[in-house]
Structure 1
Amino acid sequence: MKLETNKSTTTARFSSNLSVWRRSLNVRTALLYLLPSIVLFTVFIFYPMFKTIYLSFFLTDQQGNPALFVGLENYAYLLESESFKKSIKATFLFVLYTVPTGVILALALALLANEKLRGIGFFRTIFSSTMGISVAASSVVWLFLFHPSIGMFNRVLSLFQMEQVQWLLDPSWALISISITTIWMNTGFSFLILLGGLQNIDEHLYESAKIDGASYWYQLRRITIPMLSPTLFFIITISLINAFQTFGQVDILTKGGPSESTNVIVYSIYREAFINYQFGTASAQAVFLFLCILIVTILQFKFGERKVHYQ
């Protein structure tokens, strides 16, 4: 009896050790597969992030090397800086102008392109074509469109005997002009993702609704939007993050002007670091931008995801 008990204990211990060894092997195997990604994330994300936080506590030389520890003085300087306050205002106005309008426009185009009409494939290609054009090329095209004398927009206004607009030179119009350009550039990607989401909705839902006599708008409100909500949630989140990180079109079209009306935070970081060589304050601005994006994303997941309907 005692021998059998010892054998049972030994077997249990062996099984336990074998289970622990297998789990350890699985963990090591998983880490081995993840190693390339971990290395890439460390080199291109984690190290620059911690380096930026580190530099935000220093005054630096022109090479970006820390020269004098100043603690939170860079952050205090930003809070007192009128230029940085204008950058915050311009950034949030830019997000407000571009994200809702861009998502609604892309959704409307996706709904049109999802109809089963002859030749609709041509329009799907046209609507999504903007995602294949670089920011630099798009900005140059819009630079000519906004030109005060030879631009198409002012020529159209002159045909209707309307006063010409200084699109990129007037502080009240410059940010709106940048927003129009950004909406046009981002519509292709949002349209393509939303169209894919629409095509994944079960057709039987619409057939049942038609049998019950539901109108198009009722189907849109009760079937399309709820079924498309995960895709909409993704597009809104990505659009918010991209809007906070806008740089290329601002640099090419206005360079932050006029009167800093388009000096969004990312361009302000670039100007502070690579024009004024103040890497410490630029790093502090980058940390502030990171916190803004983090807070907006958390709020989006906390409140926006509640309305998402997962099938």
Structure 2
Amino acid sequence: MEKDITFTAPLPRKSAVSRSAASLRTSRWKERSLAYLFLAPSLILFGIFLFYPLLKSIYLSMYLTDPQGRVASFAGLDNFKNVLTSEIFYNSLWITFKFILLTVPPGVAVALLLAALSIQKLRFTKLFQFFFSLPMAVSVGTGSIIWMVLYHPTLSILNYALGLAGISPIAWLTDPKWALISISLMTIWLNLGFNYIVMLSGMQSVPEDLYESAKIDGSGSFRTFIRITLPLISPSLFFISVVSIISSFQSFAQIHILTKGGPMNSTDVLVYNIYQDAFINYRFGIGSAQALILFVLITALTIFQFKVGEKKVHYQ
């Protein structure tokens, strides 16, 4: 009588399974080690120029220091109390917000207008695109020197043009009513290149089929721009708005070169006030406390922009 014989696959040995798991762990470890090796230069630079100064500022904000920056005595939260009860701090904060209002909305609007004009298929379009993006290649120091000549009391080209139009000359940098506006005009021009390039790239990414369909439907240029172009470039608008606000909070070099916070503290923004307290008056504890408050303000405002503004962004 024959017996039924069934064949079953042999079970894998435990040693083979363990070797496979060990090989997988080794492979993952090698990949992570290679990733950290490539990231090491960036992490070192961030640690030296970002994380260490941040930790040092937190430390100094709780101490009083001597003119050499050495810790003199523990102050706890007294530095923060002195800052938050100081009229100078709130005046600098108000000037900073005015500076943001004078630079961010006009800067975005001008870049948007120039991008909309230069994307048209006209003669010399490439030349105009080159000139509009040129300020991106100019450093803050060089741009400040250029505008210092434009604002010069006697050599000012702007005042010469105003004179030709029958308008009395303006004391651009010495009149408290005009100093902040003058700095704002220079900052708008300085940031124009970057804003323009981002706007132009956003408009160039809009499919031509949408414009052709809108033209067939009888939509005019203005309506097409409002209904099609603006919603599709909203990611670029949102990005520029966030970056411009952060950049305006951190503006320092042009103010230091052109006005040094004057006249009559009319351009004494928060960053320049921190510089004066820390490196002119040698109050490093007060300066560090203001820097941390500025950090919290920028972080809170950025989070608010993402929570509120990003809801109106249309990603393709």
Range into which the TM-score falls when normalised by the shorter chain:
over 0.9
Match of 2:129 among 106, 124, 138: 124
Question: Per the alignment, do residues 17 and 83 of structure 1 end up closer, same or farther by CA in structure 2, a change over 3 Å counting?
Answer: same
Structure 1 residues 1-311: aligned runs within 5 Å: 7=12, 15-311=20-316
CA distance in 1, matches of 2:138, 2:19: 62
CA distance in 1, matches of 2:144, 2:40: 39
CA distance in 1, matches of 2:49, 2:313: 33
Q: SS at the partner of 1:263?
A: coil
Q: Which whole-Å deviations, capped at 9, do the CAs of 1:98-153 have from their partners, x for residues lacking one?
A: 00000000010011111111111111111111112221222122222223343233
Kindly indicate whether the alpha-carbon contact (under 8 Å) linking 1:83 and 1:260 is maintained by their aligned counterparts in 2.
Answer: no
Cα displacement (A) at 1:77 = 0.9
Q: SS at the partner of 1:62?
A: coil
Cα displacement (A) at 1:76 = 0.9
Q: SS at the partner of 2:206?
A: coil
Using the size of structure 2 for normalisation, the TM-score is 0.91
CA distance in 2, matches of 1:82, 1:300: 28
CA distance in 2, matches of 1:21, 1:200: 44
Cα displacement (A) at 1:83 = 1.5
Q: SS at the partner of 2:282?
A: coil
Q: SS at the partner of 2:239?
A: helix
- Aligned residue identity for 1:151: S
CA distance in 1, matches of 2:289, 2:310: 31
Cα displacement (A) at 1:18 = 4.6
Q: Which whole-Å deviations, capped at 9, do the CAs of 1:35-55 have from their partners, x for residues lacking one?
A: 222222111111111111111
Cα displacement (A) at 1:310 = 1.2
Q: Which whole-Å deviations, capped at 9, do the CAs of 1:226-253 have from their partners, x for residues lacking one?
A: 1111111111111111111101110111
Cα displacement (A) at 1:73 = 0.9
- Aligned residue identity for 1:168: L
User: How many residues are paired up?
Assistant: 309
Q: Which whole-Å deviations, capped at 9, do the CAs of 1:196-254 have from their partners, x for residues lacking one?
A: 12112111111111111111112111211111111111111111111111011101111
- Aligned residue identity for 1:196: S
CA distance in 1, matches of 2:146, 2:43: 40
CA distance in 2, matches of 1:263, 1:101: 21
Q: What is the alpha-carbon root mean square deviation over aligned residues?
A: 2.1
Cα displacement (A) at 1:294 = 0.7
- Aligned residue identity for 1:265: L
Q: Which whole-Å deviations, capped at 9, do the CAs of 1:155-208 have from their partners, x for residues lacking one?
A: 333334434332212222211111111111111111112111211211111111
Kindly indicate whether the alpha-carbon contact (under 8 Å) linking 1:74 and 1:280 is maintained by their aligned counterparts in 2.
Answer: yes
- Aligned residue identity for 1:127: F
CA distance in 1, matches of 2:15, 2:143: 72
CA distance in 1, matches of 2:302, 2:313: 15
Could you list the runs of 5+ residues in structure 1 that have no partner in the other structure? none
Cα displacement (A) at 1:17 = 4.7
CA distance in 2, matches of 1:66, 1:194: 48
- Aligned residue identity for 2:74: F
Bigger shift: residues 226-235 or 109-118 = 226-235
Q: SS at the partner of 2:233?
A: helix
- Aligned residue identity for 1:233: F
Could you list the runs of 5+ residues in structure 2 that have no partner in the other structure? 1-8
